Amino acid sequence: MKSLRKTVWMASLLLWAISLAQLNAQTPQQSSETALPQQNQPAPPQEGGQTKMVISVNQVIVPVTVKDEAGRLVPDLRRDEFRIFEDNVEQKIAFFRAEAVPLSMVLLIDNDLKSKDARQVADSLRAIVAGLSLTDETFVCRFDQFFHQGKGFVTDQDKLLTELKRTALDEQPSVGPAGGPLSEGPVINGHSATSAAPNTAGTTLIIKGQPTKALDDAVYAAAQLLKDRGRDRRKIILLISDGVNAPKFNKFDYDTTLKELLRNDITVYGVGVGSAYFDRRFERLSRYARDTGGDVYYGLKSRAMEQLYAKVTEEARNQYTLAYAPAGTDRGAEYHAIEVRVERTGLTIRTREGYYTGATPR
């Protein structure tokens, strides 16, 4: 009996030792596996907020708009339906997002329109607020022969509405040095809406029949305001203009301006006004939109412009976002061509055709 009890006691001791060894071997791993998701799990988004878009600095961001044959946005494409190529070499998609993205927008308004066109633009501007979300930010600027920078990026929609109201036309004529009317046309923010230069010193030089607008310089200046906005935002320029441009008044030409836009992931959307559509001046807006992956629309009346603003912001916000780390291409080249394909048939893809590396010469 005594021998039997000793045998049972030794067997129990052996089982206890084995169990203890197994517990010591498993506990650190189980503890690590439990703690890892807690360490890496992102903080839950606030109610009404948007998940943050994190993209490595060495990746190329490619916003893509996809429409069906009726011109409607296609929102249900999957990551595996996209293919992306750089310089004809297929790239691995490292980041994909189909959610709405907050906008950083420079609203660039032509300050040198014909009186009728200027009135229609001014009457339509307040409708822009309706197409913006609470996470969007807008910088209101104007241009003619010169670039007139606004007061900064505004996220508060009431403040933006107030700023847009100030941009409305003042129907009172400008006053010349002798107290008489200098320009019978309307003015915007104290500047003539039909003259060649801002009315800042009591005299304005009006060159009849001669375009003096520096559209390329204005787009370049708008790009400088957007270039440092976060990569988690969609950077766009909404250009409202008749498309008139005078090359000799521009410091930066089209190619230089385009390079700056593509280097900084900035997309241009154009709203053509006035006679731009009929006399082909509209083409300048079309080129900027096409080459940066944006779109261009034509608004003849204030009501049409109001609808176009909402269309532009909806399209820009709901683009697909693709990103990749370039591989297999010549990294010494300044320009790299981009091509995006989707597997579904009957769809139209709009994206930028390439990008530049390096800094723009000043």
- Whether 135 is covered by a domain: the verdict is yes
Q: Report the sign of the C-alpha dihedral through residues 70, 75, 79, 80, in that order.
A: negative
Length of the chain: 362
Provide the number of structural domains found in the chain.
Answer: 2
- Same domain flag for 132 and 280: yes
Query: Given 286, 302, 317, which residue is the final one in a domain?
Result: 317
By the 8 A CB rule, do 355 and 336 touch? yes
Element (H, E) at 27: helix 2-40
- Same domain flag for 65 and 121: no
pLDDT confidence of residue 362: 40
pLDDT confidence of residue 167: 72
CATH number at residue 137: 3.40.50.410
- Same domain flag for 138 and 244: yes
- Same domain flag for 109 and 250: yes
- Whether 258 is covered by a domain: the verdict is yes
With the CA atoms of 70, 73, 76 and 78 taken in that order, what torsion angle do they form, in degrees rounded to the nearest 10? Answer: 100
| DSSP secondary structure letters along 77-129 | --GGGEEEEETTEEE---EEE-S---EEEEEEEESS--HHHHHHHHHHGGGGG
**CA separation for the pair 316, 114 (Å, rounded):** 29
pLDDT confidence of residue 51: 53
pLDDT tens for each residue of the chain, 362 residues long: 555 455 545 555 555 554 544 444 443 333 333 333 333 333 334 334 455 556 667 889 999 999 999 989 999 999 999 999 999 999 999 999 998 899 999 999 999 988 888 888 988 998 999 999 999 999 999 999 999 999 899 999 999 998 888 875 433 333 333 333 333 344 444 444 433 333 333 333 333 345 689 999 999 999 999 999 988 899 999 999 999 999 899 999 999 999 999 999 999 999 988 765 555 567 889 999 999 999 998 877 777 788 889 899 999 999 999 999 999 999 899 999 999 999 999 999 999 999 998 654 44
- Same domain flag for 215 and 341: no
- Whether 347 is covered by a domain: the verdict is yes
How many Å from the N-terminal Cα to the C-terminal Cα in the chain? 100
pLDDT confidence of residue 56: 64
- Whether 289 is covered by a domain: the verdict is yes
pLDDT confidence of residue 156: 94
- Same domain flag for 90 and 151: no
* Domain enclosing residue 325, as ranges: 60-99+321-356
- Same domain flag for 221 and 251: yes
pTM above 0.75, yes or no: no
pLDDT confidence of residue 179: 34
* Range 221-226, long-range pairs (CB < 8 A, 24+ positions): 221/141, 221/143, 221/147, 221/149, 222/106, 222/108, 222/139, 222/141, 222/147, 223/257, 223/260, 223/261, 223/264, 223/266, 224/260, 225/106, 225/139, 225/141, 225/149, 226/104, 226/106, 226/139, 226/264, 226/266
- Same domain flag for 138 and 219: yes
- Whether 27 is covered by a domain: the verdict is no
pLDDT confidence of residue 37: 34
* Burial call 277-311: b when 16+ CB within 10 Å, e when fewer: beeebbebbbbbbbbbbbbbbbbeebeebbebbeb
Distances from the Cα of 299 to the Cα of 211, 275, 276, 277, 337, angstroms: 22, 10, 10, 9, 32
- Same domain flag for 233 and 341: no
Distances from the Cα of 127 to the Cα of 124, 140, 305, angstroms: 6, 14, 9
Record the tokens describing residue 348, joined without a space.
Answer: 């139209």
- Whether 3 is covered by a domain: the verdict is no
- Whether 193 is covered by a domain: the verdict is no
- Same domain flag for 149 and 224: yes
Q: CA triplet 62, 323, 223: central angle to 5 degrees?
A: 45
- Same domain flag for 268 and 336: no
- Same domain flag for 229 and 280: yes
- Whether 21 is covered by a domain: the verdict is no
